[in-house]
């Protein structure tokens, strides 16, 4: 009898526990918040690409640098979310593009990436590499200079106009130049202002 009573009490206790316990809730799945797009100046992006470029070729030097606006970036602060640079190795006679992205895209992840190696002719005067020691004026300063020479009027008429940047070496004048382009490339845009990338001085409008 005692044994039977104990079994009945145990069964009742288990039944009570099962009835009173609440069903466990599955934790809700949280969707990771996408990282905000990062926009930076041209000099910042170029310096980020410099180390990978020197790993590719120790004598690598930049030939040109250009920006693209994306994910809400319009270039009005001298910054961009995407930069592309072409580096050349005179010793290897090779060139390779590198990019810096402040946001992941369908084509490339965030950060520094590189493209396909191609041939490079050191005798090509239109693709002369430059020494980074000449780059003393960044894109935010170049933008301020461009604003004083027609850019402000362009943006007052149309605040949605995007501003992009191109850096290259003019072998004729031995100058490193920022091309501050309002509304597209130099041939299709509303205004292009050239700024000396060493001194920050206005050169001319195109």
Structure tokens that stand for 36 in this block: 């905000």
CA angle, 127 then 46 then 191, to 5°: 65
The whole-angstrom separation of Cα 176 and Cα 197 is: 5
Nearest CA to 132 out of 53, 203, 185, 67 is that of 53
The whole-angstrom separation of Cα 147 and Cα 100 is: 26
Q: What pLDDT score was predicted for residue 139?
A: 98
Q: How confident is the model at residue 7 (pLDDT cuts 50, 70, 90)?
A: very low
Three-class SS state of 146: helix
* pLDDT tens sequence across 126-174: 889 999 999 999 999 999 999 999 999 999 999 999 999 999 999 989 9
Nearest CA to 62 out of 132, 123, 142 is that of 132
Q: What is the pTM of this model?
A: 0.81
The residues, any chain, with a CB within 8 Å of residue 37's CB and separated by 6 or more, are: 70, 71, 72, 73, 81, 102, 103
**Residue 33: pLDDT above 80?**
no
Q: Which DSSP letter does residue 151 get?
A: I
Beta bridge partners of 87: 62, 96
Q: Residues 107-127: what's their mean pLDDT?
A: 89
Q: What pLDDT score was predicted for residue 109?
A: 86
Q: Is 149 exposed, middle or buried (0-12, 13-18, 19+ CB in 10 A)?
A: middle
Q: What pLDDT score was predicted for residue 122?
A: 87
Do 42 and 65 contact (CB within 8 A), yes or no?
A: yes
């Amino acid at each position: 009898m005692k044994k039977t009573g104990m079994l009945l009490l145990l069964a009742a206790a288990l039944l009570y526990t099962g009835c009173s316990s609440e069903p466990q809730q599955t934790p809700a799945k949280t969707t990771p918040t996408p990282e905000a797009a990062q926009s930076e100046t041209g000099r910042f992006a170029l310096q980020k690409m410099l180390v990978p470029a020197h790993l590719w070729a120790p004598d690598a030097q930049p030939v040109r640098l250009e920006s693209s606006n994306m994910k809400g970036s319009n270039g009005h602060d001298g910054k961009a979310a995407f930069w592309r640079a072409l580096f050349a190795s005179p010793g290897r006679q090779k060139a390779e593009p590198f990019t810096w992205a402040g946001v992941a895209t369908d084509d490339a992840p965030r950060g520094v990436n590189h493209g396909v190696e191609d041939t490079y002719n050191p005798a090509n005067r239109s693709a002369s590499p430059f020494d980074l020691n000449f780059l003393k004026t960044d894109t935010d300063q170049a933008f301020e200079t461009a604003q004083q020479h027609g850019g402000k009027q362009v943006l007052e008429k149309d605040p949605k106009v995007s501003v992009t940047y191109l850096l290259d070496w003019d072998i004729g004048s031995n100058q490193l130049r920022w091309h501050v382009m309002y509304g597209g490339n130099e041939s299709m845009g509303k205004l292009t202002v050239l700024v000396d990338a060493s001194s920050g001085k206005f050169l001319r409008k195109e």
